[in-house]
């Protein structure tokens, strides 16, 4: 198996390695391929964020994740300071690794 095939398989796995590769991919595309992210969100993403906060705890719990009086999650730096990784999550079907996320993508709309 060559490196491309290995990566293509591992980046979609529900494993720690898969999470780690998606985090690297998220950082790389968010930094160098913002055009791809904007187009993917505009053409492939449907649904809404319902504020579960689970994407703020991928691999590690974000230190800026807060809880309000009703125990709902919120971002302490919401706005201009919020990193691109967070603003754009999830930007495509590979990036979308939380099955209960309110966003869905063309090709995996059957998820709940």
Find the binding residues for ligand SF4 in span 65-94 (CB under 6 A). Answer: 89
Smallest separation (angstroms) from ligand SF4 to the CB of 45: 10
Encoding tokens for residue 46? 């449907």
Pattern 4-43, binding to ligand SF4, x per CB under 6 A? ----------------------------------------
Q: How far is the CB of 11 from ligand SF4 (least distance, A)?
A: 18
Residue among 7 and 27 whose Cβ is closer to ligand SF4: 27
Axis-axis angle for helices 3-10, 16-32 (nearest 10): 100
Q: Which residues are CB-neighbours of 32 under 8 A, at least 6 positions away?
A: none
Give me the least distance between CB of 8 and ligand SF4, in Å please. 23
**What is the contact mask toward ligand SF4 in residues 90 to 109, using x (rule: CB under 6 A)?**
--------x--xxx------
Give the one residue of 37, 55, 93, 94 binding ligand SF4; rule: CB under 6 A. 55
User: Where are any strands of DSSP class E within the chain?
Assistant: 45-47, 65-67, 73-75, 103-105
Find out whether 84 and 34 touch, Cβ atoms under 8 Å. yes
Three-class SS of residue 36?
helix
């Amino acid at each position: 198996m060559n490196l491309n095939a290995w990566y293509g398989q591992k980046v979609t796995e529900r494993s720690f390695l898969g999470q780690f590769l998606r985090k690297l991919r998220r950082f790389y595309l968010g930094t160098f391929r913002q055009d791809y992210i904007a187009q993917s969100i505009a053409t492939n993403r449907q649904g809404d964020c319902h504020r579960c906060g689970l994407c703020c705890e991928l691999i590690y719990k974000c230190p800026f994740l807060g809880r309000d009086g009703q125990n709902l999650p919120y971002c302490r730096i919401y706005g201009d300071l919020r990193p691109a990784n967070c603003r754009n999550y999830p930007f495509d079907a590979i990036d979308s690794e939380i099955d209960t996320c309110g966003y869905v993508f063309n090709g995996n709309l059957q998820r709940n």
